[in-house]
């Protein structure tokens, strides 16, 4: 992965991430989020995490974003009418976010391992689906079962919440 490609995709991810926050139209926000997630998937690929990159495209850019767009269109949200923006609250929120970013940068700047470049991998590591699958069903079997229950509960919860009251 060349340095050039890394910065292209990183910039793409960040620019469309900002677009998610500043767009007034929810549909435009959701579509910016899709592009941001695709660029993030490219960054995962650059880190040799092919399985995670593909999961990112399938689950996030595919399933979750379809869910978002579906709800936005179901609720028929147009670009929200211009309300009086509470500037004090917005400035406060931005200040807290900037303080957080400064702190993150300070920590990374002091982190000595942050300057290392890519360590070389063995040739046999391209089958990362195999490796992750082994780990998932071996070391992490119990959490894997629990995550299945979590999804079941989420499904039942979503159905219960969106069901109309019948009497």
Please answer whether residues 35 and 12 qualify as being in contact, where contact means their C-beta atoms are separated by less than 8 angstroms.
yes
Please answer whether residues 65 and 34 qualify as being in contact, where contact means their C-beta atoms are separated by less than 8 angstroms.
yes
Subset of 41-70 contacting other proteins (CB under 8 A): 43-44, 46-49, 51-52, 55-56, 59-60, 63-64, 67-68
Q: How far is the CB of 167 from other proteins (least distance, A)?
A: 16
Task: Please give the Cα distance from 145 to 35 (Å, whole number).
Answer: 32
Task: Please give the Cα distance from 91 to 106 (Å, whole number).
Answer: 22
- SS3 category, 162: helix
Q: How far is the CB of 20 from other proteins (least distance, A)?
A: 6
> Which tokens in the block code for residue 88?
């004090």
Q: How far is the CB of 77 from other proteins (least distance, A)?
A: 7
Question: Which of 30, 167 has the CB closer to other proteins?
Answer: 30
Task: Number of residues interacting with other proteins: please give it, by CB under 8 A.
Answer: 85
> Which tokens in the block code for residue 84?
């009086």
Q: Interface with other proteins includes 88 (CB under 8 A)?
A: no
Subset of 95-134 contacting other proteins (CB under 8 A): 96-98, 100-101, 104-105, 108, 111, 113-122, 124-125, 128, 131-132
**Enclosing H/E stretch for 41:** helix 26-46
Subset of 3-42 contacting other proteins (CB under 8 A): 3, 6, 10, 13-14, 17-18, 20-21, 26, 29-30, 33, 36-37, 40
């Amino acid at each position: 992965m060349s340095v050039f490609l890394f910065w292209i995709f990183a910039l793409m991810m960040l620019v469309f991430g900002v677009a998610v926050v500043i767009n007034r139209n929810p549909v435009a926000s959701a579509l910016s989020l899709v592009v941001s997630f695709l660029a993030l998937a490219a960054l995962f690929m650059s880190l040799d995490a092919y399985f995670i990159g593909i999961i990112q495209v399938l689950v996030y850019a595919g399933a979750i974003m379809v869910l978002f767009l579906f709800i936005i269109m179901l609720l028929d949200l147009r670009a929200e009418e211009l309300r009086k923006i509470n500037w004090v609250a917005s400035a406060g929120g931005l200040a807290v976010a900037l303080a957080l970013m400064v702190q993150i940068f300070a920590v990374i700047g002091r982190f000595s391992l942050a300057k290392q470049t890519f360590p070389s991998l063995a040739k046999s590591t391209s089958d990362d689906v195999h490796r992750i699958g082994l780990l998932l069903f071996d070391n992490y079997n119990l959490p894997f079962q629990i995550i299945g229950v979590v999804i079941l509960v989420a499904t039942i919860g979503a159905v219960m919440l969106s069901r109309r009251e019948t009497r």
